[in-house]
Amino acid sequence: MNVARKSNLAQAIEQMPKAELHVHLEGSISHETIEELARKNGIDSYAARGRANPARLRYGHLVDFLEAYRVRCKCLRSADDFQVACTDVLESLHALNVRYAEIMIAPTLHRMNGLSMDEIMPVLARTAGEFSKKNGLEARFILDVGRQFGREHAWQTVREAARQQDSGVIAIGLGGDEVHYSPELFVEQFAWARKQGLHLVAHAGEVGDSASVWGAVNSLGVERIGHGLGARGDEALLETLRIRQIPVDMCPTSNVETGAVRSYADHPLADFLRRGLLVTVNSDDPAMFGTSLTQEYSVCWQELGLAWSELKLLCLNGIRGSFLPDKDKERFLEEFTEELAEIESETGLR
């Protein structure tokens, strides 16, 4: 690729409209803001920053990352803290030209710190609504069940999610320790959440194998998979994901940083996309991994070898894989397609 085309492609990635479907609120708060909140609430600010090392060393294992994440959550001790955090995250997303985001929250960790989603969500809804009116970025929220906290905490989370649908909660998720807690443990909670009108998504195959993904799809009936690395090598599963067009939200830098894959060269995103799976690209916990959604698109280009046409497909998949109503998907897809065409015209990319 010649120098001019490289420059044009980098410019196009910067300018392209984006959707972010797999991003955690707590792991997206900037280092400056998390330090401010840590000092305010008497938390060790160094521990709260997470991986801010310019050498970009790995966490070593997902469990190490989850412990750093827990410390971050301790920095949020009031509804006002969540307003500050939400504004910070939305500003960061807006700067990347993100137009739509589905932001995950870890209710159990905050419940353990004395806060319920019934207290927090109205504040987040107001903050996101005001930001949208001013800047045009639309945001919704997903409440994540932490596997390791057990079934009763899971029930509390899904009930909070059901009560807070008017505050922008659109889905229930499953996260946490995938190795020791299978999706099948939470069948009742997810079935109940579906009956309340909530969408369903699960981290599956991040560090678990294909059985974890099968469990999320068949037992929980999820509509979207987070990470999905464990699906590779299971041809029947990959074909099921392709035929049913179950979106797979992939986060390359996150997977390298937690050791879920050995390197970018080992990441299956390009293979999944070229097989016809509905793959989206996301940043997961950008502040903790030293990345951004724009950087993840650059990784897909520079490290995974995707062409501009494939980057465009990922971009549009971000809307196709969302939990937006069909009419809103059509609106965003039309807007994105028009803007991508303008970018092509300006940069000469095809």
Which of 61, 55, 160 lies closest to 106, judged by CA? 160
Partnered with residue 143 across adjacent β-strands are 105, 172
Residues 19, 331 contacting (CB under 8 angstroms): no
Q: Are 125 and 47 in contact (CB under 8 A)?
A: no
- The active-site residue out of 35, 206, 257, 296 is 206
User: Is residue 308 within 8 Å of 350, Cβ to Cβ?
Assistant: yes
169 residue type, one letter? V
Is residue 34 within 8 A of residue 69, CB to CB? The reply is no
Alpha carbons 202 and 183: distance in angstroms, whole number: 8
Name the residue type at position 201: V
C-alpha dihedral (69, 54, 204, 14), degrees to nearest 10: 110
Residue 220 CA, distance from chain mean position: 19
Q: How far is residue 90 from each of residues 24, 247, 267, measured CA to CA in Å? A: 12, 24, 28
Q: Which of 15, 12, 22 is nearest to 96 (CA)?
A: 15
Contact (CB, 8 A) for 16 and 340: yes
CA distances from 116 to 74, 75, 161, 164, 175 (A): 14, 15, 11, 11, 18
Catalytic annotation present for 184: no
Residue 170 near residue 198, CB atoms below 8 Å: yes
3-state secondary structure of 208: coil
Q: How many C-beta atoms surround the C-beta of residue 298 within 10 A?
A: 17
CA distance 201 to 186: 12
Residues catalogued as catalytic: 206
